[in-house]
Chains A and B, each alone.
Chain A
Amino acid sequence: AQSVTQLGSHVSVSEGALVLLRCNYSSSVPPYLFWYVQYPNQGLQLLLKYTSAATLVKGINGFEAEFKKSETSFHLTKPSAHMSDAAEYFCAVSEPGNTGKLIFGQGTTLQVKP
């Protein structure tokens, strides 16, 4: 079965530092991949998605992610963290077979220190 692993349930960075949130998936067939962000007491909002076009995907708020098939990874990065980036981030992958279902990782909480 398809699965998603997010390494690190909590990541803490200083303001202005690089943000790196890790996501690995298990699939022999390249799926669709997503990163969602959840701010406190809100729903999930799409940050970016990979749909088999460019392997480097740019999203909102300066985030980007690179699809690496050989490593089955889709890590999320941002060159310079801002206080407003503090949130929970979820990686998700589409289930094979065109079911419409997404499989979500456990989430990573990003803390940004001043």
Chain B
Amino acid sequence: QKEVEQNSGPLSVPEGAIASLNCTYSDRGSQSFFWYRQYSGKSPELIMSIYSNGDKEDGRFTAQLNKASQYVSLLIRDSQPSDSATYLCAVSGNEKLTFGTGTRLTIIP
């Protein structure tokens, strides 16, 4: 079992709709959770961090964490073409940060 799993996609979403990205992790001791966005040919950039169960909202982005289910998600509301990118889930625990393989998201105008 991979430590951090994501659906590789591609995930296609119409412009203006909600994009939902999911991530599961195997280490129950994980403490910190991050979503990074990576445009093609660019480096990852942090868009959200979440540390406790529940929802965290930042503009059009909402991160959701459920530690009991070992599940973290990212919702993007009012999707824009500029949201087209690969989204990487990263999970930390025991001094180790592990990335998933990423989900490629395409917003269709």
Is B one of A's binding partners?
Answer: no
Q: B-side interface residues toward A, CB under 8 Å?
A: none
Q: A-side interface residues toward B, CB under 8 Å?
A: none
